[in-house]
Amino acid sequence: MRTRDRRRPDGRPTLGALFIGFASIAMMSVGGGLAAWTRREVVQRRGWLDDQQFLSGYALSQIIPGATNVNLAVFIGTQLRGSAGAVAAFFGLTTLPLAIVLTVGLIYLRTQGMPGGGWFSTALAGMGAVAIGLNLGTGVRLGRHNIRRIVPALIAAVVALSIGVFGVPLLYALAVMIPVSLLAAWLDRRA
């Protein structure tokens, strides 16, 4: 199903349509799955990009550091409307979630010390435990899809343990492990 939205004569979306498109993507993504929702809206419903363009942009968004889904919005905005499009997509994706997170966070900080406010904190402890599981489960999923050999598995394990258990700062861990991983991938491709 395709929705009609405001377009310019050249068929590209207006800045307002970009903002609203990404705002609705953000609101649908309660609990995650932002990339899947982005693809549904941008490719399937609105037809702004085709699947090839989308997947290419998704790959770029993962290679470049930063929140993948924010990167993806900036990429799509740039492709469709240049710098102004990037700004519209970025604020479309982040404005409402920003307001929600800040509101809930302020309630959390205000009720923290109050008598009777403890239930919020107790519930959050359970949600935090699930959120940790979400990270670990995502790691398992990514690993199953992307790691099939012993050397990449060892690289992933070294990164996970050095940062997660032994507290090595990320910058040092990456400065060593990215070159190691590049070398391993290069040797793998030559073999």
Partner 1 sequence: MIATLLQLAGLFGLLSLLAFGGGAGVIPDMQRAAVDLHHWLTAREFLDMFAISRAAPGPGSLIVVLIGQKAAGFAGAAVAFLAMFTPSSLAVHVAARFWHRGAQSYWRALVEQALAPVAVGMTFASGLALMRGTEHGWLPYLITIASTAAFAFTEINPVILLGLGGGLMLLAGS
Q: Of 14 and 181, which has the nearer Cβ to partner 1? A: 181
97 binds partner 1 (CB under 8 A): yes
- Secondary structure (DSSP) of 139-161: HHHHHHHH--SHHHHHHHHHHHH
Which residues in the 121-140 window bind partner 1 by CB under 8 A?
121-140
Torsion of CA 172, 176, 182, 185, to 10 degrees: -120
Spatial separation of the C-alpha atoms in residues 63 and 145, rounded to whole Å: 17
Which residues in the 158-187 window bind partner 1 by CB under 8 A?
158-165, 167, 169-171, 174, 177-178, 181-182, 184-186
Question: How many other β-carbons are positioned within 10 Å of the β-carbon of residue 38?
Answer: 26
84 binds partner 1 (CB under 8 A): no
Q: CB of residue 37 vs partner 1: minimum separation in angstroms?
A: 10
48 binds partner 1 (CB under 8 A): no
111 binds partner 1 (CB under 8 A): no
Stretch that binds partner 1, among 2-10, 12-20, 38-46, 89-97 (CB under 8 A): 89-97
3 binds partner 1 (CB under 8 A): no
